[in-house]
Structure 1
Amino acid sequence: MPRLHCPLPLAPGAQIDLPTEAARHVQVLRLQPGAALTLFNGAGGEWDATVTRMGRSDVQVEVGAHHAIEREAARAVHLIVGMPANERMDWLVEKATELGAASIQPVATARSVLRLEGERAAKRQTRWQAIAVAACEQCGRNRVPSVHAPLALADWLRGAPGQGRRLLLSLRPGSQPLRQAAGDAQAVWVLHGPEGGLTAQEEDTALAAGFAPASLGARVLRAETASVAALSMLGLD
């Protein structure tokens, strides 16, 4: 059964016009009146729905029963990611969403190849958020992780949230294994660099901001692989 993100207030018996992206999805699937759907709006759980009218570009549905189903990870893992170049950030957002990331914060670092500012940054954020929505539709999540606007790493560190365990993925001697470093914290912030990693100065700044060095092992992983590995260790039930 198709699952669609519908960021609108939902209630049993309501007749609603689907938002543009959801309506386009229904049109592409060539669904007809009477077809069953599942809707989620990010506020919790999911809703039965039935297509009642198909227009040229608009689709109306009737909302059915609500099901208090959640498929979130047992702990909230927030990624602070030195943006990888090309399409790798798109892939990272998709897979991180599937693996249960609570939020994704792209950051620009000294070794970042991808540089985003102004309108270009806003367009890329919109694209990444849409990728996260599509991944939730596919994997069954009913809460969409926020993909925040790109920031310089130093700017993000100055305003970093105060709650949760802060971990820096690092190859420094003495770094604890990631699971051990996370302990039983229910909120974990995981920071890692882009291609080439963070500079020693950037790591020092992160440590001074309360991050503890943590390791994924002896091998050097690509930026997008590091996110997937960290989420697999910390976020999968």
Structure 2
Amino acid sequence: MTTPRFYCPQIQHATTEFELPPAAAHHANRVLRLRVNDEVRLFDGIGNEFLGNIRTISDSRVALQVLQVNTISREPLLCITLAQALCSNEKIDWVMQKATELGAVEVQPLQTKRSMKKLTGERAEKRVQHWVGVAIAACEQCGRNTLPNIHPPLEFSAWCSTLANIPDKKFILLPEAVTTLSQQPKPQGPVILLIGPEGGFSAEETQLAQQVGFTPIRLGARILRTETAAMAGMAALQTLWGDFI
């Protein structure tokens, strides 16, 4: 059985003993049915991992002895920011989960002309909190000890205005593009991957993206769904220049 993992940012302040927060304690006790002397791994979201041994357990409390503290990096060699146009709740949740598993360092949701969802104010704040929860669960599953930075949604043109002087290599996936990633030189720093909404970017958005330095690329001769394009693009980047091979 794989040692269970829990996200516990408070663990960084622990010495030899630590008590799981209520949600993690409930999951350990009621869902995983862990028992005294079972081992668990905790991570703080900023790169540290802790091995603990359960000393006492009750309905609402799980107390651990901290056995080891390790700084274990499972971050990819290539620093990728995924800029994803907003889509349906189910699809954007899936993108957040898989982007975390594939090693995205940052995720920037974008309001575009053809986005199905418009998120502002309190609704946007709640969605970001939800996405962070999705990313935490993905980190618990995939072994990452560093959480990706999930930004609040931004309007597309406002976001583009922040990029003009950023040296990161920028790629935009477009079905009409004529070049592929394999034809591009290896990036010497971080990469931004821009994915459009269902229905694609408008002509004005495509033009604006290229004006701020995005290189159009294609992934084969087929038109991919927005959530498929995001994952295929990230996997291609990791295969060419990251840690996949």
TM-score normalised over the length of structure 2:
0.89
Structure 1 residues 14 and 52: CA distance shift in structure 2, 3 A: same
Among 4, 14, 17, the alignment partner of 2:16 is: 14
| 1-structure distance, mates of 2:219, 2:199 | 16
Q: Give the match's secondary structure for 1:110.
A: coil
Q: Give the match's secondary structure for 2:117.
A: coil
Higher mean C-alpha deviation, range 205-214 or range 14-23: 14-23
* Aligned residue in 2 for 1:51: 54
Among 125, 130, 141, the alignment partner of 1:127 is: 130
Structure 1 residues 64 and 218: CA distance shift in structure 2, 3 A: same
Identity, % of aligned positions: 39
2:171/2:215 contact within 8 Å kept: yes
Q: Give the match's secondary structure for 2:9.
A: coil
TM-score normalised over the length of structure 1:
0.92
Q: Give the match's secondary structure for 1:226.
A: helix
| 1-structure distance, mates of 2:19, 2:168 | 40
1:11/1:63 contact within 8 Å kept: no
* Aligned residue in 2 for 1:75: 78
Among 152, 158, 167, the alignment partner of 1:155 is: 158
Among 3, 6, 29, the alignment partner of 2:5 is: 3
* Aligned residue in 1 for 2:184: 181
Structure 1 residues 53 and 179: CA distance shift in structure 2, 3 A: farther
Q: Give the match's secondary structure for 2:184.
A: helix
Q: Give the match's secondary structure for 2:51.
A: strand
Q: Give the match's secondary structure for 1:87.
A: helix
List per-residue Cα deviations over 1:170-208 (Å, max 9, x = no partner): 23444x212433623331001111100111100111111
Instruction: Spell out the pairing of 1:73-222 with structure 2 (5 A cutoff).
Output: 73-160=76-163, 162-174=166-178, 176-181=179-184, 183-222=186-225
Report the CA distance between 1:162 and its aligned residue: 1.4
Q: Give the match's secondary structure for 2:199.
A: coil
List per-residue Cα deviations over 1:85-109 (Å, max 9, x = no partner): 1401111111111111111111010
Report the CA distance between 1:143 and its aligned residue: 1.1
Aligned pairs, number = 236
Structure 1 residues 41 and 73: CA distance shift in structure 2, 3 A: same
Structure 2 gaps, min length 5: none
Instruction: Check if 1:30 corresponds to 2:33.
Output: yes
| 2-structure distance, mates of 1:173, 1:26 | 49
| 1-structure distance, mates of 2:28, 2:107 | 28
Q: Give the match's secondary structure for 1:235.
A: helix
Find runs of 4+ consecutive structure 1 residues off by over 6 angstroms: none
| 2-structure distance, mates of 1:110, 1:122 | 21
* Aligned residue in 2 for 1:226: 229
| 1-structure distance, mates of 2:23, 2:111 | 30
| 2-structure distance, mates of 1:186, 1:4 | 31
1:125/1:148 contact within 8 Å kept: yes
